[in-house]
């Protein structure tokens, strides 16, 4: 089973619990003013400022289109996979962590040969070895995985490492997950600063960070430019509205995933961009309001060239807002 398959399985198993116990969002609480940070920028022209004031983008969003490497045909070499991603219209890659120096070097060479930028690194040890665990051995395994991810990012020229900060379960209370994970992440901040790699925390179906207000507070408590938010549009559709989360998180967002989600009477289904319940026009409007200009990574099922080319066109129309 691939790492990304394990990630999707985890999300599916956590679905029912994700929506349990969610209260209404507290009204009248401000998340603070947007500020310059990695992945965001302030308006550069009167037209951009005017578009922010009206809540409408003055044109296509100035974002970079990325793809998760696991979506590319696995029978191909890294070089050929990266060239395929470039040829169908993607500009950036998200690559899984590897402990192999040889594979890391191969990935670096393949990206350079294909003329593709590695934007971010997907850390996966946080699933099996959460930082919120009470077992020191589990926590150390997770920390070591993050250190590997951060060194991969430094080698590849990537700015961000995605981290799921904690998992709440029968053995780990919400309060303990919050405190334990923050304690461990703080241990990683000096290395992040040394390597110039941002730890980007993601919201998933892990019974943790169940509202945008909590997510913003959790990130802010680090008081560090090296700990920010990774926002996944599809992950919140079950119990919220992506545009609301985007506005609340604001400048904290440094990178993003997009996928679509279809609610059904008998459950749910992950679907292609535009085939689900995400209100893409509202998502674009919110991203324009916070002046987001970073990378947005597709995280969907993989496919062949025809599928990837169609996905690239859907991204242009739905996410970027190209005619």
**Residue 86: pLDDT above 60?**
yes
Q: What is the mean pLDDT of the segment spanning 171-193?
A: 98
Q: How far is CA 255 from CA 2, 37, 204, 227, 295, in A?
A: 23, 11, 15, 12, 6
pLDDT in tens, 197-230: 999 999 999 999 999 999 999 999 999 999 999 9
* Helices vs strands, H then E, count in the chain: 12, 10
Predicted pLDDT at 9: 52
Report residue 58's pLDDT band, with 50, 70 and 90 as the boundaries. Answer: low
The ranges assigned to domains in the chain are 3-9+35-318
- What is the residue whose two structure tokens read 């209370």? 173
Predicted pLDDT at 17: 40
Cα 112 versus chain centre, distance = 23
Q: Beta strand 117-122 with 160-163: parallel, antiparallel or unpaired?
A: parallel
C-alpha–C-alpha distance, residues 202 and 171, integer Å: 22
**Which two structure tokens, joined as six digits, stand for 125?**
């040890």
C-alpha–C-alpha distance, residues 23 and 90, integer Å: 39
59, 68, 42, 27: which is closest to 308 by C-alpha?
68
Predicted pLDDT at 2: 39
- Residue environment code for 202-228, b if the CB has 16+ CB neighbours within 10 A, otherwise e: bbbbbbbbbbbbebbebbeebebebbb
C-alpha–C-alpha distance, residues 19 and 216, integer Å: 19
CA geometry: angle at 141 spanning 140 and 142, to 5°? 90
Q: Residue 115: CB partners within 8 Å, gap ≥ 6? A: 86
pLDDT in tens, 67-81: 999 999 999 999 999
Number of residues that make up the chain:
323
**Which two structure tokens, joined as six digits, stand for 9?**
């399985």
Superfamily of domain 3-9+35-318: Divalent-metal-dependent TIM barrel enzymes (3.20.20.150)
Q: Are 248 and 29 in contact (CB under 8 A)?
A: no
**Residue 122, H or E segment:** strand 117-122
Helices (H), 98-231: 101-114, 125-128, 136-156, 174-195, 212-220
16: left (phi over 0), alpha (psi -120 to 50) or beta: alpha
Predicted pLDDT at 266: 74
Helices (H), 19-100: 46-54, 78-87
**Residue 28: pLDDT above 80?**
no
pLDDT in tens, 234-249: 999 988 999 999 999 9
Q: Is 82 exposed, middle or buried (0-12, 13-18, 19+ CB in 10 A)?
A: buried
Q: What is the mean pLDDT of the segment spanning 136-148?
A: 97
**Which two structure tokens, joined as six digits, stand for 20?**
């349990």
């Amino acid at each position: 089973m691939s790492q990304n398959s394990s990630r999707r399985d985890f999300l599916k198993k956590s679905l029912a619990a994700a929506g349990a116990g969610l209260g209404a969002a507290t009204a009248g609480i401000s998340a603070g003013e947007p500020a310059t940070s990695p992945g965001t920028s302030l308006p550069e022209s009167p037209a951009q400022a005017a578009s922010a004031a009206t809540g409408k983008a003055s044109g296509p969003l100035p974002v970079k289109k990325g793809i998760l490497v696991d979506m590319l045909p696995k029978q191909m070499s890294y070089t050929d996979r990266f060239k395929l991603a470039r040829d169908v219209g993607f500009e950036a890659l998200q690559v899984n962590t590897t402990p192999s120096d040889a594979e890391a070097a191969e990935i670096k060479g393949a990206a350079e040969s294909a003329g593709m930028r590695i934007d971010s690194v997907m850390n996966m040890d946080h699933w099996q070895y959460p930082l919120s665990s009470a077992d020191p051995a589990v926590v150390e395994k997770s920390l070591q995985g993050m250190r590997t991810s951060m060194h991969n990012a430094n080698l590849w020229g990537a700015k961000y490492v995605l981290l799921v900060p904690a998992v709440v379960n029968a053995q780990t209370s919400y309060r303990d997950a919050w405190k334990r994970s923050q304690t461990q992440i703080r241990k990683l901040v000096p290395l992040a600063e040394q390597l110039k790699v941002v730890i980007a925390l993601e919201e998933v179906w892990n019974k943790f960070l169940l509202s945008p207000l909590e997510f913003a507070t959790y990130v802010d408590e680090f008081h560090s430019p090296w700990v920010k938010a990774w926002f996944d549009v599809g992950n919140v559709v079950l119990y919220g509205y992506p545009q609301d989360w985007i506005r609340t998180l604001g400048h904290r967002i440094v990178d993003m995933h997009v996928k679509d989600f279809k609610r059904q009477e008998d459950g749910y289904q992950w679907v292609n961009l535009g085939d689900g319940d995400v209100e893409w026009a509202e998502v674009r409007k919110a991203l324009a309001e916070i002046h987001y200009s970073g990378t947005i990574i597709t995280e969907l099922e993989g496919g062949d060239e025809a599928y990837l080319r169609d996905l690239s066109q859907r991204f242009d129309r739905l996410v970027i807002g190209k005619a």
